[in-house]
Amino acid sequence: MITVHHLDNSRSQRILWLLEELELPYDIQFYKRDPKTMMAPKSLRAIHPLGKAPIITDTNGNVTLAESGAIIEYIINTYGNGRLAPACDTPEYVRFIYWLHYAEGSAMPPLLLKLIFGMLPKQVPLPIRPFAFLIAKGAQTQLINPQVKLHMDYWEHSLSENEWFAGNDFTAADIQMSFPLEVAAERARATKNRPQVEAFLHRIHNRPAYQRALHRGGAYAYATAESGRAAS
């Protein structure tokens, strides 16, 4: 049996969705962020040394595994039976592997920097906040925002060529890519003048398995009205 160690408003929501798409049985162990720091609780470190969600444990083989991409590959390879992944000898599989790893390796770092520099002025002593604000604003304007826009435009172009990221069929790569697109919609107005990104978010949010994952996992702030969330 798979147990998902699920942190609220985190990447672990994708793992719940994947398991719902595959209609696999699973349990959830819930964790809450610290309301002041918004960090994961230290209790997650008892499951994995880094204490970062998502983490799964699987009694089949005594497996403990972190990292979204690794978890998705493990579940697909162990329980997928050919579902949610293209055949290995196809061009779609190459795109599938690319997007599966691009999501965290390339898409999320500039979005994380945008969050950090957005929070920075509030984290320093009051007398130096004006200077911190200027530094943060300069970093976002000159470095971070252009990179975020580059990625968002890349998504729009890619989705204009195919309905889904790996091709014309929905795959686990779309589940993996959901988080950066949802975060960008929340933090960087990714859907503005990007109809393909907006349509993608509408499609995933309307999937029954996505809605079931929301029901089981609880409140998920990134499935917002701006990003086209369907009512749940």
Question: What pLDDT is recorded for position 36?
Answer: 74
Is 22 a domain residue? yes
* pLDDT one-digit tens code per residue, 18-75: 999 999 999 999 998 877 777 888 899 999 999 999 999 999 989 999 999 999 999 9
Is the distance from CB of 225 to CB of 12 less than 8 angstroms?
no
Question: What pLDDT is recorded for position 224?
Answer: 60
Structural domain for 8, as ranges: 2-79
Mean pLDDT of the chain: 91
Q: What is the CATH number of the domain that holds 6?
A: 3.40.30.10
* pLDDT one-digit tens code per residue, 120-179: 787 778 887 887 778 888 888 899 999 999 999 999 999 999 999 999 999 999 999 999
Is 231 a domain residue? no
Q: What is the CATH number of the domain that holds 100?
A: 1.20.1050.10
Same domain? For 9 and 56 the reply is yes
| Alpha carbon 80 to its chain's center | 20
Same domain? For 75 and 175 the reply is no
Residue whose C-alpha is closest to residue 92's, from 164, 172, 167, 177: 167
Is 227 a domain residue? no
Q: Strand 55-58's sheet: what is its strand order? A: 26-31, 2-7, 55-58, 63-66
pTM for the structure as a whole? 0.91
